Structures are given as C-alpha cells and as structure tokens.
Structure 1
Amino acid sequence: MEEKVVNISHKLILDNRKEASVTGVKDVISFDEKEILLQTADGKLQIRGSGLHVKGLNLEKGEAALAGHVDSLVYLSKDSPRKEEPLFTRLFR
C-alpha cells in the first residue's frame, strides 16, 4: 500500500492583530495565553501576544483559527532550541 504524499499549502492571515487564520497546520505543539507554537508545512511558527487562544482547529484540513492580541510572529529555524524541552534541560546542555 502506497502512502499518499500531499503538498500542503501554508497561508497566514492576520486581521488587526486580533484574529488569525492559518492553513498548512500539521500540529499544535504548545499553547497558552502568551504563546502558541504551531508545526506548519513551512516549519514551526511561534505566535506571541496576550490573551491568545485557539478558537478552532481542524488538523485533517490543516486549519487553525486563533484570537487574542498578537505581538509577534516568528518562524523558528531548525537550529532553534526545541520548545518542547523543559527550560531547565535547555539551560544545562
């Protein structure tokens, strides 16, 4: 049985720094009211702000709807420390 490889298109729409729509989402790595970390088709996307929350998520379609005040959007490079690791582990390597 062959595994079907689908090319997922990644798009980010930010409306007045209060609502965001993201496509090409593969996974939500972590989230809280100050930061949301998504795995997208184009790499990890870090969204920072205040009062952030995930309004809707459909991983089958690769879509996420976010709300809150957005301060920054950053695509993390492969050389960035892994966010999933505890801070203590990253400090004492």
Structure 2
Amino acid sequence: MEDTSSNPLRFETNPYHNVVLKDRKILEITGVKQIDSFDASEFLLETAQGWMVISGKDLTLGKLDTERGDVIIRGLIESLSYVSNKKGKNSESMISKIFK
C-alpha cells in the first residue's frame, strides 16, 4: 500500500478526467487523485491524466469531494497546464522542476 502520510490530501477517484472553465472564474475538475499544494496564486494537482498546474489570482478551493475526486477552484484563472514529470517521493518539488 502506498504511503500517504506525507500528503493527507490524497484520495480515491474514478478514472475519468474532465475540466470545465466558466468565465475564467470557476474551474471544475473531475478525476483528481490528490492536491499536492495550493495557495492564492497556484494549485498543483495530480489527475487521472497527469499532473496539472493552475495559476491565477485570489484562487480558493471552492469544493473538494474526496470520494469522487471532484474539485472546484474559484478565482481569476490565468493558466492551466499539464506537466509531464511525475513527482517522486525523494525528488524535487514539481514547481521547482517547472521553473528551472
């Protein structure tokens, strides 16, 4: 069994992954496996289709359904991207790899 003690925001999810952006203010995501980190300007999520980085201003977690893997992020969404590097237990953080 995988050790999740270092990340309490890991949860089960269905294999489907969808993204819906409404007026750049509400982002609905399904198929989220874990939330690695977040603050008012950036979210780092693992989805059924890979790691995702969401950047913006005044970002907040509007909804978190750990049973279904549904997340809603509110705020001004400026960018959304998938990153190919998978985060390893002893590796550098995804954010530091992205901005090298």
Normalised-by-shorter TM-score class: 0.7 to 0.9
CA distance in 1, matches of 2:69, 2:85: 21
- Indicate whether 1:83 and 2:94 are aligned: yes
| Count of residue correspondences | 82
Unaligned 5+ residue runs, structure 2? 1-12
Contact 2:85 2:94 in 1 (8 A): no
| Bigger strand fraction | 1
Displacement of 1:59 in angstroms is: 1.8
Once the two structures are superposed, the pairs formed by residues 10-89 of structure 1 within 5 Å of their partners are: 10-78=17-85, 82-83=93-94, 87=96
CA distance in 1, matches of 2:86, 2:49: 15
Which residue number corresponds to residue 6 of structure 2?
Answer: none
CA distance in 2, matches of 1:45, 1:79: 10
TM-score, L = length of structure 1? 0.78
Deviation beyond 4 Å, 4+ runs, structure 1? none
Report percent identity of matched pairs.
35
Displacement of 1:78 in angstroms is: 2.0
Displacement of 1:7 in angstroms is: 5.5
Q: Which protein has the larger Cα radius of gyration, Structure 1 or Structure 2?
A: 1
CA distance in 1, matches of 2:14, 2:60: 27
- What's the RMSD between the two structures over aligned residues? 2.4
TM-score, L = length of structure 2? 0.73
1:24-72 Cα deviation digits (max 9, x unpaired): 0000000000001111000011000000011110121010011000110
CA distance in 1, matches of 2:73, 2:48: 17
